Chain A
Amino acid sequence: MHIIIWIIAGALLPWFPFSWIFNRLLVSAPGAWARALAVIVLPQLGLLLLLKSGAWLILGQEMPQALRALALFTAILYAYRAAGTRDVQIWARFMGTSGLSLTWLLIGLLPGHWGVQLFALAWSIPAALMLVWAGILTRKTGGSYLGLTGGFARVLPRLSVLMSLTALAATATPVFPNFFALLEAMESLPLIWMPLLLLVLLLWGWTVGRFLQDLLFGIYHGESLHDLSVGGTWLGGLALGIFALVGLFWGGIWIIN
């Protein structure tokens, strides 16, 4: 019984190889908004399943080393795979998967379950936002692939700014909440495991660097494009601003805990 619960939970709150199902579910969602919603809801359902089934308590008593290793392996694998893609939608899925898999490290370690759920949200929100931007980019250019044209900073300056900031938010850049979430994950891990988590951080840095390079730089040669509306930009900026403010005010609590 427990094994089935763990497999289902692994498909919702991704760890390899069931992270494949998680990604498949996201791909099959109809439209960008549905994918964004799914990347927020599925991990929360996974956590709820663990909580209700009692698996949470088992993990809280003693986290199996294999599970810890698997969570870190998933984070490393998907961060590495994100470096090999130039499609914004796939990039957002992979980065979301990489960050969300770290949630497994905290289950049972934080007092109560709210901290863990918020930890998962810290990774879901930037992934969801990026999936929305990918949808808008697809509507404007016919796809969210960055390898053909590039140079969007000049032709889509507003959308590029939002995408750049979201990419930074997805890769644990201060002062977004997942920077502090990552600190929390570090605090909870035995020191010997920490280099693996730092490898994830390094891979994220590499990945986001490649992403921004493809997105911003170069001269655009395609058809003329209409940028995101001013209202849409303010809305997106507001969402990111609130996300950053939450990180600033809330970050310290994680550190002290």
Chain B
Amino acid sequence: MGELAIIIPFLPVLSALIIFVFMHKARKAAARISVFLTLLTFLLALVELATYALGGFSRVEIIGTLWGSVWLDPLTLIMWSFVCGISLLVHMYSVRYMVEEANYTRFFALLDLMTATILFMVSAADLITFLVAWFMVGVVLYFLLGHDTDRPAAGRYAFWTQITYRAGDVPLWLAAFVLIRTYHSISLPDIFERLQMHPHVPAFWGLSVPELVGFLLAFAAFARSAQFLLHGWLPYTMDGPTPVSALMHAGIVNAGGFMFNRFFPVFEHASIVLHFVFIVGLITAVVGSAMMLIQNDVKRSLGYSTMGQMGFMVMECGVGAFALAVFHLIAHGFFKASLFLGAGNIIGEAREHDGVPSDPVYTSIVERRPAKPSRLPWLAAAALTIIVPVVVLSLSHLFVSTRLLHEQGVIILLFFGWVTGAQALFATHKMTHTNPWRLMGGILGSFVLVVIGYTLISHYFGHFLYPHGEAYQLYNAASINSLYFDILVILLALFFVGAWALTFFADSSGWWDRADQGRWRGVYLALYALLSRELYVNDLYARMTQILVQGARRINVLLRWC
């Protein structure tokens, strides 16, 4: 089994080498080899996962003599299966989608290299392998995003990604060396074992080693997972080929969530970092979702949706729900991959057919309105909106484990579940329909199914990932003072209920129409301009780059280019 596991990350490397060296011009054969070896990698990863699930145990396999090792634990095996699955989808899709593009064979070789690099990254059992793989993801991604070299925009946005990734590499290097020097090992299992024995070793500025390392790792994760202020590159990765966008948004961008899970023993002793992570994730989720709403380009809209999802994933880590973050990244990966691959076809279709129907029957269907539009009584809608999600979410968690409802992290997630569910019900109530009870019933039924499925799966998934109760330690680490927590939850609940009520009454009394004519229009337009310019973050970075390059040129002239 050990040898089989070591082969897995090397198979895509082998495929890339074969294509680079022997199949430079054999387009069909290169694609076939690439897809076949990715399929084989995926199957082997599944076999490894199944073997572990049927009674296997975590272990480290050494590849090199001094560094180079893979850690075959549940996290690695799950990530291997997930990464190979997404990669296989992208490979199969690319066979036909990229067929008219130049450098077809190079594209497959780079896809294979990217797959291999991610497989090494998620399985690294020592810090050097982890650093090498983490670093290489950025390099390979640069060439994948810049596949079409005829387009300067592709190069520009690939560069944005590369420099953001490098900015994230810097704190990771520092974190790695702090760990190596403090615990005198490069082996991750050894470091974590020693960290558990001596967690409060002082570092700098009154921080302990886990806290300092936790902050540094969090910054590295923020760059990879496009958290606010380091997010500018993500929506622009759409300028790369669509299969790369799918791989990027479904797999690579999840590296932040993976990193939190890989280094979870550090975060068990770094409560302050988890609180910080929660705030950053929350801001990113809100900003990403707001940006998504105003996009008129389907791929860019999906890009900002990813940003919002990444914010939510990081926020989950911030409340201590590390296993849920992994489940989230897998679920998000699959649905985002399908959305991107679907978007590619839709865009292609739209280019061929403008979609304006000439058929009057179609137009009449599109413009058809319900014969007798009606809504639920507002009291019934309000009761359903507020109470039903609370009941469904609480019961489903109670069914799984009563202990869960005592964890602050779970309460926070339940709160977000409640807000999301209630928002969906509220939006449903705003829709006019001939049979509003049927519509609401359908939505409620879907909501119950999703919540119960999600709760059950995520619970058993969490148990698989953290079988020794580490999940509860992480929840404890993320907890704050009970009084503050209760006040915060009550205030937030009042805020949301108040906002819904305000929206409801503003809607029914025609307030929006009046505001649209008055002075609020200026505020609305300013806000719209701010969001449509993406909060001027990218403009600011571009200006900074300009100033820095001008400075470098002046020094060069002064020193006569020597």
Contacts and interface: CB of A to CB of B under 8 A. Distances in A.
A and B interact: yes
A232 interface: no
Contacts of A80: 548, 551-552, 555
A153 B149 contact: yes
A82 B146 CA distance: 22
B181 A191 contact: yes
B174 interface: yes
Interface residues of B, number: 46
A138 interface: no
Contacts of B174: 194-195, 198
Contacts of A140: none
Nearest to B153: A217
Interface stretch (A52-60, A103-111, A126-134, A173-181): A173-181
B155 A217 contact: yes
B459 interface: no
Contacts of B479: none
B155 A205 contact: no
Interface in A150-194: 150-151, 153-154, 168, 173-175, 179, 183, 186-187, 191, 194
A217 B132 contact: no
Interface string A44-87: 00000000000000000000000000000000010011111100
B556 A252 contact: no
A173 B135 CA distance: 8
Contacts of B553: 84-85
Contacts of B548: 80, 83
**A84, A154, A201, A256 — most chain B CB neighbours (10 Å):** A84
B10 interface: no
A155 to B, nearest CB: 10
B132 A216 contact: no
A69 B433 CA distance: 73
Interface stretch (B159-167, B259-267, B292-300, B416-424): B159-167
A84 B552 contact: yes
B151 A255 contact: no
A183 B562 contact: no
B128 A186 contact: no
Given A173-B139, A201-B169, A83 B552 contact: yes
Nearest to A192: B204
Contacts of A90: 556, 561
A183 B186 CA distance: 12
A209 B162 CA distance: 7
B152 interface: yes
B65 interface: yes
B97 interface: no
B152 A217 contact: yes
Nearest to B148: A217
A210 B159 contact: yes
Given A194-B174, A195-B174, A206 B149 contact: no
B162 A81 contact: no
Interface of B: 64-68, 128, 131-132, 135-136, 139, 142, 146, 149-152, 154-156, 158-159, 162-163, 166-167, 169-170, 173-174, 177-178, 180-181, 186, 548-553, 555-556, 559, 561-562
Given A84-B550, A212-B159, 7 more contacts: A77-B555, A187-B177, A191-B178, A198-B174, A213-B155, A218-B150, A252-B64
14 contacts: A24-B562, A80-B555, A187-B177, A191-B177, A198-B173, A202-B166, A205-B162, A206-B166, A209-B162, A213-B156, A213-B159, A217-B151, A251-B66, A255-B186
